Amino acid sequence: MNPVDFHIHTTLSCDGHCTIEEVCRKAIEIGLQAVCFTEHFDLDTNDPGYGFFNYEEYSSQVDEARRCFGGQLTILKGIEADYQSRFEGQLRRWLKDKELDLVLGSVHYVDGVTLSEELVRTRNLDELYEAYLGEVRLSAESGLFGAIGHLDYVKKYTGDASYLESSDRLQSALEATLQSIIRNRAALEVSTKGLVAKSRDYRPSLKIVRLYRDLGGRKIIIGSDAHDTYVLGTGVSTLSQLAQKAGVEVVTQAQDLMSFGRALAKMNGI
């Protein structure tokens, strides 16, 4: 089966560097079966992406891409919603009338402060991880998301690929977070973006994916978190094979992803 990439940003996100058309052309060139655009949606007024995303323009461009490339590529329309529990009500209201194939929930802030190398330097790392995982648990418990994005995003700034999985102190928090994702019927997204970053590992690692499986998790979504065509599709085929060997089901069929996300949304009244 041809690989898929279900985490992609374009110039419709504040930090994207390629157009939807460019992504589609590149995806066809490298043999992807399907792509899901997941443009950033931010509600924090201090975030660089606040007010940038335009749902109507996004929908128009996705419709046009489907007309142009639909015979060669399945094109899905999603968002990556930044989750901060203090904005959960606003996000829930915004989602009510939106037609989306996937709502990916990702935590980028801890206690209202964006994750960064500076934050990592100035906080006790165990305490930072505990606060981060607590927010991820709340994102899963909100019922807003079809998938939880790039668990262990903290290692983007630490460069330590194994800290979370090797820290005895953090194991109970990690297991509670994975159990919350499973209990609330969201998929776990595994991002290949770390392969081209200093951590040189998946987010989360395959060890955490196996723990997810052991706790009862069965479905993962794979994405490159591409913000340009250079990263598009990076490692997704290899990760798909490794994940299946680890005993989890990789969502590769577009219809499965759409059904999964829509069923969850309906269940939670979105």
CATH of the domain at 135: 3.20.20.140
Tell me what percent of the chain is helix, strand and coil, each rounded to the nearest 5.
Answer: 45, 15, 40
Host domain of residue 59: 4-267
* DSSP element (H, E) containing 61: helix 55-69
Cβ contacts of residue 230 below 8 Å, gap of 6+?
none
| Residue-by-residue pLDDT tens, the chain, 270 positions | 579 999 999 999 999 999 999 999 999 999 999 999 999 999 999 999 999 999 999 999 999 999 999 999 999 999 999 999 999 999 999 999 999 999 999 999 999 999 999 999 999 999 999 999 999 999 999 999 999 999 999 999 998 889 999 999 999 999 999 999 999 989 999 999 878 766 678 999 999 999 999 999 988 999 999 999 999 999 999 999 998 888 898 887 665 665 555 545 555 565
- Of 135, 221, 137, 124, the closest CA to residue 163 belongs to 124
* Number of domains comprising the chain: 1
Determine if the pTM surpasses 0.85. Answer: yes
